[in-house]
Amino acid sequence: MRIAIENAHVVTVAGPEHPGGHVVVEDGRIAAVGPGPAPGDADERIDGTGCLATPGLVNTHHHLYQWASQGLAKDSTLFEWLVTLYRPWSKMDAEVVHGAASAGLGWLALSGCTTSTDHHYLFPSGRGDLFAAEVEAAAELHIRFHPCRGSMDKGRSQGGLPPDEVVEDLDTILAETEAVIDRHHDASPGSMLRVAVAPCSPFSVSKDLLVQSADLARAKGVRLHTHLSETLDEEEYCLAQFGMTPVQYMETLGWLGPDVWYAHAVHLHDADIAAMAGTGTGMAHCPSSNARLGAGIARVADALAAGVPVGLGVDGAASAEMVPLAGEIRQAMYLQRARYGPTALTARQALEMATLGGARCLGRDDEIGTLEPGKLADIALWRVDGFHAALDDPVVALAYGQTPPLARLLVGGRTVVSDGELATVAQDEVARRGADAHRRLMRLAADVL
């Protein structure tokens, strides 16, 4: 199958832009990119007149199950919010997770996302195969998926934040995590499914879990992910419990390296940024969630200047209700400017974070994140005509103000979104699944809400 996109403003992210350019797709990969009409014949020609072509966006942090618990603890800090929500989350089952993941991933696709991770760290006993439920949802939508098998083993009785009933024991976590990797992880080129290991956070997991999870991940050749330095409360907790900052603590446990990326990293010291840059440790920046919970504004401009791989994430829908990934381009840019001034982050830098930066965090920058020959054909085509035509720069049209309509989204050359509608599944059905998941969780959790 050969597809030719023509007459679009092509932003490769890795090199020159091509106004009125082309992208040619052959057998799921990019065969050619350049100015002017596409060379040769094509099975399908897509007229990109009035459109901006970018790499598909990469979401580096999420909690898909939280689609079912949006709108709760609306004015709370992170710790307050978690304490409120741990109990209803303990009641979720595979049906809730599948419905929530379907809606969450569909919503991401409609905002230009072609690859998403997910961090699922609660596994209530007897509630079905929650991990498989979200893997199935991603396969149905045809979204490239990097789910993380999360975990918590440090309940309140051991000095952790979560209640004891939502944590697992160390041996169970390690055995289940290894089983998930063996069952689902696909390391082959062009993979649609790769698994990461992701203990939840320093305040909900033990030192032994962090150390042994890192050993397991590296033995299996998969990546490591966790929350870190999200709030000042967390820093105070780490100083009190371990006598060091969160990044310093993780460094002592072998949790710095090019196979690691942290969610949030809002409260970093200069030495933390230097350590992350020097080791290639990545950072998933979630500006809307950080703002919603009042966590702070991450030092993204400083991290980028130091060479830290930085991607964007929407975070879970319960702390960032209905946030589209494309909107985080604007949110990230504006928050950096609010803190550091109008030159702190440009539209093109923010777009690079949403594409190549995210690919680097997930270890996929050899295959996704840019529009280059040989890379996977994960492509977003945005309509920047109509009202958006009042802006001469189509990247500014994408990054500033309301996100332009999505004309087409390709994942491996397959159309997932066409003219703002999901093409792989019925959009109304996906939306209904998300609403049903919310109603089901509220019923299951009625006694703890």
As a whole-number percent, the residues of the chain with pLDDT over 90 amount to 97
Mean pLDDT of 232-249: 94
Q: Could you give the CA distance from residue 449 to residue 446 in angstroms, rounded to a whole number?
A: 5
Q: What angle do CA 275, 207, 227 make, to 5 degrees?
A: 55
Mean pLDDT score across all residues of the chain: 97
- The domain segmentation of the chain, as residue ranges, is 2-55+374-422, 57-362
Q: How confident is the model at residue 170 (pLDDT cuts 50, 70, 90)?
A: very high
What the block records as the tokens of 348 is 């093109």
Mean pLDDT of 216-241: 96
Size of the chain in residues:
449
What percent of the residues of the chain are helix, what percent strand, and what percent coil, each to the nearest 5? 40, 20, 40
pLDDT for position 181: 98
CATH architecture of the domain with range 57-362: Alpha-Beta Barrel (3.20)
Q: How confident is the model at residue 449 (pLDDT cuts 50, 70, 90)?
A: confident
Q: How confident is the model at residue 165 (pLDDT cuts 50, 70, 90)?
A: confident
Mean pLDDT of 96-120: 98
**Long-range contacts for 123-130 (Cβ within 8 Å, ≥24 apart)?**
123/151, 123/168, 123/176, 124/90, 124/91, 124/92, 124/93, 124/166, 127/92, 127/93, 127/94, 128/93, 128/94, 128/95, 129/94, 130/65, 130/92, 130/93, 130/94, 130/97
Q: Are 345 and 300 in contact (CB under 8 A)?
A: yes
pLDDT for position 104: 98
Q: How confident is the model at residue 159 (pLDDT cuts 50, 70, 90)?
A: confident
Q: Could you give the CA distance from residue 95 to residue 97 in angstroms, rounded to a whole number?
A: 5
Q: Do domains 2-55+374-422 and 57-362 have the same CATH topology?
A: no
For residue 228, the cross-strand partners are 264
Q: Give residues with Cβ within 8 angstroms of 33, minimum separation 6.
A: 10, 12, 18, 21, 22, 23, 24, 371, 372, 373
As a whole-number percent, the residues of the chain with pLDDT over 70 amount to 100
Task: Tell me the residue type at 1.
Answer: M
| 175 has a pLDDT exceeding 90 | yes
Is the model's pTM score more than 0.85? Answer: yes
pLDDT for position 395: 98
Q: For 241-245, 302-306, 394-398, which range has the lowest pLDDT when averaged over its residues?
A: 241-245
pLDDT for position 23: 98
Q: For 43-52, 235-244, 266-275, which range has the lowest pLDDT when averaged over its residues?
A: 235-244
| 68 has a pLDDT exceeding 90 | yes
> pLDDT for 179-198, tens place per residue?
999 999 999 999 999 999 99
| 160 has a pLDDT exceeding 90 | no
pLDDT for position 388: 97
Looking at domain 2-55+374-422, its CATH superfamily turns out to be Urease, subunit C, domain 1 (2.30.40.10)
> pLDDT for 342-384, tens place per residue?
999 999 999 999 999 999 999 999 999 999 999 999 999 999 9
Q: How confident is the model at residue 340 (pLDDT cuts 50, 70, 90)?
A: very high
Q: How confident is the model at residue 151 (pLDDT cuts 50, 70, 90)?
A: very high
Q: How confident is the model at residue 81 (pLDDT cuts 50, 70, 90)?
A: very high
> pLDDT for 412-430, tens place per residue?
999 999 999 999 999 999 9
What the block records as the tokens of 398 is 């994408």
| 291 has a pLDDT exceeding 90 | yes
